[in-house]
Amino acid sequence: MAKQLPDVGSGGTVPPPRRTRIVLAEITRQDSRAERTRTELAQQTQVGEALVRGLVRAQLALALRLSLVVAIGLGGLPWLFAIAPSLGRTTLAGVNLPWLLLGVGSFPFLIGVGWAYVRLAERNEQDFIHLVQRPER
């Protein structure tokens, strides 16, 4: 497949029929618009380096923020039960609160945090892609 592709950069050759664009998703992405910025990334110029550092920092900040949510939401429970023993004796529908919070409630909470992370991390990556492609617009 790769051999059929013309060398776009060198110019001169007429591209072959557009048929190949439908065959593989990857080929449509080989759009030349963002070529220069991508090259900057790959060659680790200062601009590229700064872009990647920004992405890593954004993703790490997101992960740390959400772990803080879990650390407070779940990690606070043993401490809370320890300083307020009456909380452990509170019952809801005949079941003691710690059993409900840990045995049932914690799992939807974890899944919710995970879902939020996947959405936000993908948004960070989208922002990064837009940033990389913007100079070419």
Partner 1 sequence: MANDYVVPAIVAVTLVTVGIGFYGLRLARTTSDFLVASRAISPTWNAAAIGGEYLSAASFLGIAGLVLKYGVDVLWYPVGFAAGYLALLLFVAAPLRRSGAFTLPDFCELRLGSRRLRILATAFVIFIGWLYLVPQLQGAGLTLATVAGSPYPLGALLVAAVVTANVALGGMRAITFVQAFQYWLKLTALAVPAIFLALQWQADARPAVTPPDGPTFRAATTVVVEHRATLTLPDGEIREVRPGDELTFAAGDPVPEVSGVATDAADWLLPSAAGDDDRGLFATYSLILATFLGTMGLPHVLVRFYTNPDGAAARRTTLVVLALVGAFYLLPTLYGVLGRIYTPQLLVSGQTDAVVVLLPGAALGDGLVGRLLAALVAAGAFAAFLSTSSGLLTSVAGVISTDVLGRGSVRGFRLATVIAGGVPAVLALNVSGLDVSQVVGLAFAVAASSFCPLLVLGIWWRGLTDLGAAAGVLVGGGAAIGAVLVTVLGPPLSGWPATLTAQPAAWTVPLAFTVMVAVSMATRRRAPADVAATMLRLHTPESLRL
- Which chain residues interact with partner 1 by CB under 8 A? 29, 34, 38-39, 41-42, 44, 48-49, 52-53, 55-56, 59-60, 63, 66-67, 70, 74-75, 78-79, 81-83, 85, 88-89, 96, 98-99, 102-104, 106-108, 110-111, 113-115, 117-118, 121-122, 125, 128-129, 132
What tokens were used for 104?
């049932």
Residue nearer to partner 1 on the CB measure, 7 or 17: 7
| Helix (H) / strand (E) containing 24 | none
Which helix (H) or strand (E) segment is 125 a member of? helix 106-133
Please, what is the minimum distance in Å from the beta carbon of residue 4 to partner 1?
Answer: 19
Least Å distance, CB 103 to partner 1, is: 4
Minimum CB separation of residue 12 from partner 1 in Å reads 23
- Closer to partner 1 by CB, 22 or 83: give it: 83
Strand partners, 96: 91
Q: What is the DSSP string of 80-119?
A: HHHH-HHHHH-EETTEEHHHHIIIIIHHHHHHHHHHHHHH
**Contact assessment for residue 20 and residue 5, using Cβ atoms and an 8 Å cutoff:** yes
Select from 38, 52, 4 the least CA-distant residue to 24: 4
Q: Which is nearer to partner 1, 4 or 44 (CB)?
A: 44
Which C-beta is closer to partner 1: that of 20 or that of 124?
124
